[in-house]
């Protein structure tokens, strides 16, 4: 065979030998891709498992810290909002918001609160969450709607408050509001505030018994801090009853726009949308905690919830 013929034959043979390589290379790429996918899936499963383990560990740590900080406090799934979800409601069930023991300084205003004996007979209250849901007016505006309308409602609010105070005539013997002891729930305030008012309305004429409302939110009598705690829990701003001393550190310092809690060792009360809610100064043992006139705030720490 000539040199040119041998060269031609060599080129043909080389072409036949080279052609399978592209197929082999494609197969190798597919195998590598499949292996990478398997490894990625296994890594994802590991990360998910680790994340779940971390979440469970964090939850356990928080539960332990909460139990150490507030013995006996049972915090359940909450409501509203709260504003900021900030505070777990913990008052949806009969046993929620229960405390194992109460350690409270004697109430210096007990004598002015028409105290009843611990054996007093009165229907038990519902849970704060149920009270807020039953009394809040239907069709109340959302927080977003309220914010948009606040600028236009300032003058209307001032006028409405003045008219409301004019209608609130104290019952003889004290400063309690008349009628059934409740106050109207304004439509132009945030829903959380509406729920606090609804909760306060629900127990406004319950008897005063020192320590009442601390073993559980569901009780048949409430002292000063038990009354304030119940109302705040109705708004989702408290998870378990607190004493007046504990309420000295509730929320943040200073008066609020809608809710201002005044607390000192032994006694506490609050103003909600400008109206006083206090066990001291009532007109009788079954008179309303809502009162027509403000009280002397000297010597009390004032606190509010952020944004309220």
User: How many residues are recorded in the chain?
Assistant: 308
CA of residue 49 relative to chain centroid, distance: 30
The predicted model gives 289-297 an average pLDDT of: 94
pLDDT at 59 over 50: no
* Helices marked H in the chain: 3-18, 20-69, 82-85, 128-135, 143-167, 191-202, 224-234, 244-247
Lowest mean pLDDT among 17-26, 185-194, 267-276, 296-305: 17-26
End-to-end CA distance of the chain: 103
CATH 3.90.1720 fits 74-304, yes or no: yes
Instruction: Return the closest-CA partner of residue 91 out of 215, 213, 239, 279.
Output: 239
The residues pairing with 115 across neighbouring beta strands, listed in sequence order, are 208
The predicted model gives 270-274 an average pLDDT of: 96
Is residue 304 a contact partner of residue 266, using CB atoms and an 8 Å limit?
no
CA atoms within 13 A of residue 15's CA, in its CB half-sphere: 6
Give me the pLDDT at residue 234, please.
95
pLDDT at 58 over 50: no
Dump pLDDT digits (tens) for 232-253: 999 999 999 999 999 999 999 9
Dump pLDDT digits (tens) for 153-198: 776 666 666 556 545 678 888 999 988 899 999 989 999 999 999 9
Dump pLDDT digits (tens) for 120-130: 777 777 788 88
Q: 267 in helix, strand or coil?
A: strand
Is residue 213 a contact partner of residue 241, using CB atoms and an 8 Å limit?
yes
Of the two residues 220 and 79, the one the predictor is more confident about is 220
- Annotated domain spans of the chain: 3-68, 74-304
Alpha-carbon distances of 97 from 19, 89, 115, 208, 223, rounded to whole Å: 79, 8, 24, 19, 16
């Amino acid at each position: 065979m000539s040199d040119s013929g041998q060269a031609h034959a060599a080129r043909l043979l080389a072409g036949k030998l080279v052609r399978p390589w592209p197929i082999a290379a494609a197969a190798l790429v597919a195998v590598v891709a499949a292996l990478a996918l398997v490894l990625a899936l296994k890594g994802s499963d590991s990360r998910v498992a680790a994340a779940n383990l971390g979440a469970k560990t964090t939850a356990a740590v928080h539960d332990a810290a909460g139990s150490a900080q507030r013995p006996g406090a049972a915090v359940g799934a909450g409501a509203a909002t709260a504003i900021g979800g900030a505070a777990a409601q913990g008052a949806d069930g009969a046993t929620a918001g229960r405390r194992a023991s109460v350690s409270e300084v004697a109430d210096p205003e007990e004598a002015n609160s028409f105290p009843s004996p611990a054996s007093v007979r009165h229907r038990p209250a519902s849970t704060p969450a149920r009270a807020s849901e039953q009394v809040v007016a239907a069709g109340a505006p959302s927080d977003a709607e309220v914010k948009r309308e606040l600028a236009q409602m300032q003058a209307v609010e001032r006028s409405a408050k003045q008219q409301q105070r004019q209608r609130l005539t104290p019952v003889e013997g004290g400063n309690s509001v008349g009628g059934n002891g409740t106050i109207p729930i304004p439509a132009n305030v945030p829903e959380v505030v509406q729920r606090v008012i609804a909760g306060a309305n629900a127990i406004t004429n319950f008897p005063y018994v020192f320590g009442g409302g601390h073993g559980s939110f569901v009780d048949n009598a409430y002292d000063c801090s038990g009354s304030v705690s119940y109302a705040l829990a109705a708004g989702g701003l408290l998870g378990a009853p607190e004493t007046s001393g504990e309420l000295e550190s509730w929320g943040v310092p200073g008066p609020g726009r809608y809710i201002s809690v005044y607390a000192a060792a032994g006694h506490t009360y609050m103003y909600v949308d400008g109206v006083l809610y206090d066990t001291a100064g009532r007109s009788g043992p079954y008179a309303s905690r809502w009162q027509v006139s403000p009280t002397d705030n000297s010597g009390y720490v004032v606190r509010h919830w952020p944004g309220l």
